[in-house]
Amino acid sequence: MQINGVTIDDTFAEAFPMKATRLVITAHNRTWARHAGVTATGFATSVIACGCEAGIERELGEHETPDGRPGVAVLMFSMSGKELAKQVERRVGQCVLTCPTTAVYAGLAEGEQIPLGKNLRFFGDGWQIAKMIDGVRYWRVPVMDGEFVAQETTAVTKGVGGGNLLLLARDTDAALAAAEAAVAAMRAVPNVIMPFPGGVVRSGSKVGSKYAALPASTNDAFCPSLVGLAARSELGDGIRCVMEVVIDGLTDTDVANAMRAGLQAVTDAGAEAGVLRVSAGNYGGKLGPFHFHLHKLLGEEALA
Amino acid sequence: MTTWVLSLEQAPALRVDLRGIVPAALAGLSLDQIERLPVFHGNDTLPLAELCHVEGVNGNGAMTLVLQGDFSRCDRIGWQLAGGYIEVRGNAGDYVGAGMTAGEIRVSGNTGVLAACEMQGGLLDVAGNVGDFAAAALPGSMDGMRGGTLIVRGSAADRFGDRMRRGTALVFGDAGDFLGSRMVAGSIAVGGRIGAHCAWGMLRGSIVCAGAAPSIAPTFVPTGHDISVFWQLLARDLARLGEPFAALPARRIRRIAGDLAVGGKGELLLPH
């Protein structure tokens, strides 16, 4: 399939079930809400070594938050509910509780509840106060700028992690520009995050390695430096730089919508912009239950 | 499902104990069975039909009981109510909604003492006034209201929310002396004036004085910090009920902590 000169591979992205939660972090102004969101979702690119994948879903206006202050919505994904609970507690405890003027609330209502302010309250050393408002329990912990308000729990839902697009471009400039455009388009889609730096990952991985200790290693089939060297290369002539955008979403539909938005942003720019092919990463379809076929994503859009 | 309407044509000579006359208990009974239900009248038991006229009308599906007339001599209406809806078209006696865990009671008139005492859940909405010790504890008990919502659209007498532990209790009009005395936790909001010794011996909890500021005991101290986050959460919830709380989110707030005699973890919230 070709759109505006960009070849869309007949392949699919393979994604996995994860556990997810949304947190709403508010602060005195947008700047401090963003500081808290950025810090809490730092070092959260991949579950391989970060414990969770997290990112700022979007910024929230004063009319969208429980306390009428500006805020950010943050999504966090982990492989198990237990690990997610651990990550939420550590990240909120170290990055939100500590950030000036912030408050934190659950961004999802339905699902198994994990602690949010429930354990952080002990920071209050006995001075903390619980408050039930409209059936929701909040903790008020005295801190040096006043009070840290945190909802007691947040809900965990089933999420989908690992949706992806591989952008195969003629050079670094073109690959970066396309990746940035794709990420910008995906950021407009609700319920998804792109957890890597700037939403983009340049070190896509394959399963396994020649070293027994490593579960994953570089995706040699897409490395331009290995064309002609690696046993199998996916890259043809003229492709010298590949970028990947990874997407985690609350449902498979959300991930599909984000992938479609990204695909459209890339194909709208066309092959003249420098992206020659779009592909996707999978493991043969045997590992992950969610398969996002690129042709189907574009076909559904054409039908709609 | 049938809605049962009990009409009181004349005031009973003695106090009547209506515990057990709740929608769930009447569901599935025939008119004859309901008329023969025993109720205490003074020290004697009488069949219900001797006190009031019982009538079944087609309901809207919810378990509903309507009490029509002046029930001010009838106590324990909705005693330990666990579901369903009771509407009192007139006054209610003492202990209305006491110990209720779920469901809804609406009273169009006034109630006696100890309304919503030890209430654990559900909603009690009184259009008129409530007597002493509303949302408080039963005599001898350590904890008062411990959940649910009490709305008093008129005024409250003394000792409102005495030993209250959890839940929300609101007075649209004035409140008497010793409001929230010995309060353990929970939220009280008063739209009008508040009598003497407000929050005496308060351990924890919040009292919002949306009307005139009460006289503050010397065992309460102002705290100067910014509590706008918590205030917005609470004020927005109260504002949903309309006047006199509708404008609360837009008002600035003064916080006074106390009662220091018992730890000082409670608070008076004074919008200004």
Domain definitions of chain A by residue range? 2-14+159-303, 20-157
pLDDT band at A107 (very low <50, low <70, confident <90, very high): very high
Q: Which chain A residues contact residue B145 at CB under 8 A?
A: none
pLDDT of A84 above 80 = yes
Q: Does B234 touch chain A (CB under 8 A)?
A: yes
The CATH number of the structural domain formed by A20-157 is: 3.30.70.520
Q: B69 lies in a domain?
A: no
* Amino acid in the structure at residue B160: F
At A286 the pLDDT is 80
Query: φ, ψ for residue B99 (rounded to 5)?
Result: 70, 10
Bridging pattern class, strands B266-271 and B206-209: parallel
| Chain A nearest-CA residue for B229 | A67
User: Among all residues of chain A, which has the CA nearest to that of B240?
Assistant: A134
Give phi and psi for B216, each to the nearest 5: -100, 130
Tens of pLDDT, residue by residue over A17-63, are: 999 999 999 999 999 999 999 999 999 999 988 999 999 999 999 99
Q: Is A68 on the interface with B (CB under 8 A)?
A: yes
Q: In whole angstroms, what is the distance from residue A189 CA to residue B23 CA?
A: 49
Residue A136: strand, helix, or coil: strand
**Continuous segment of H or E residues that includes residue A138:** strand A136-143
CA of A150: which chain B residue's CA is closest?
Answer: B230
Q: Is residue A283 pLDDT above 90, yes or no? A: no
Q: Which of A244, A247, A220, A250 is nearest to A234 (CA)?
A: A220
Q: What is the distance between the alpha carbons of residues A255 and A178, in angstroms, rounded to a whole number?
A: 19
Check: CB of residue A34 under 8 Å from CB of residue A91: no
Domain of residue B134, residue span: 113-271
Question: A166, A187 in Cβ contact below 8 A?
Answer: no
Which single residue is written with the structure tokens 């100890």?
Answer: B114
Domain annotation covers residue B68: no
State whether residue A144 sits within 8 Å of chain B by CB: no
The answer to whether position B40 is within a domain reads no
**Architecture of the A2-14+159-303 domain:** 2-Layer Sandwich (3.30)
pLDDT value, residue A304 = 40
Beta bridge partners of A272: none
Task: Determine contact, residues A12/A298, Cβ cutoff 8 Å.
Answer: no
- Report phi then psi at A298, rounded to 5: -75, -35
Which residue, among B203, B233, B252, B265, would best test binding to A if mutated, counting the most A CBs under 10 Å from its CB? Answer: B233
Q: pTM of the entire structure?
A: 0.91
Could you check whether A2-14+159-303 and A20-157 share the same CATH topology? Answer: yes
**Cα–Cα dist B138/B118, whole Å:** 7
Which residue of A lies nearest to B224 if distances are taken between CA atoms?
Answer: A146
Taking Cα atoms as reference points, which of B27, B74, B77, B72 lies closest to residue B46? B74
SS3 call for B248: helix
The DSSP call for residue A224 is G
Instruction: Give the gyration radius of chain B's Cα atoms.
Output: 20
pLDDT confidence of residue B147: 94
Structure-token pair, residue B145: 């209201």
Any B CB within 8 A of A173 CB: no
Q: Does A26 touch chain B (CB under 8 A)?
A: yes
Amino acid sitting at position A64: E
Q: Which residues are paired to B174 by β-bridges? A: none
Smallest CA–CA separation between A114 and chain B, in Å?
A: 21
Under a CB-based contact definition with an 8 Å cutoff, are residues A280 and A262 in contact? no
Task: Report CB contact under 8 Å: B230, A131.
Answer: yes
Q: Residue B169 carries which side chain, given as an amino acid letter?
A: A
Within-domain flag for B99: no
User: In chain B, which among 194-223 make CB contacts under 8 A with chain A?
Assistant: 204, 206
Residue A303: per-residue pLDDT: 42
pLDDT tens digit sequence for A136-191:
999 999 999 999 999 999 999 999 999 999 999 999 999 999 999 999 999 999 99
Compare CB distances from A147 to B206, B229, B234 and report the shortest one's residue: B229
Mean pLDDT (chain A) is: 94
Query: Which residues in chain B show pLDDT less than 70?
Result: none
CB neighbour list of residue B20: distance below 8 Å, 6 or more residues apart: B37, B39, B79
Residue B238 lies in a domain: yes
Counting residues of chain A whose pLDDT is more than 90, the rounded percentage is: 89
The long-range contacts involving A7-10, CB below 8 angstroms and separated by at least 24 positions, are A7/A276, A7/A277, A7/A278, A8/A263, A8/A267, A8/A277, A8/A278, A8/A294, A8/A295, A8/A298, A9/A277, A9/A278, A9/A279, A9/A280, A9/A294, A10/A293, A10/A294, A10/A295
Q: Based on the structure, what is the number of domains in chain B?
A: 1
Nearest Cα of chain B lies from the Cα of A66 at a distance, in angstroms, of: 7
Distances (CA, A) of B209 to A119, B250, B253, B264, B269: 31, 15, 10, 18, 6
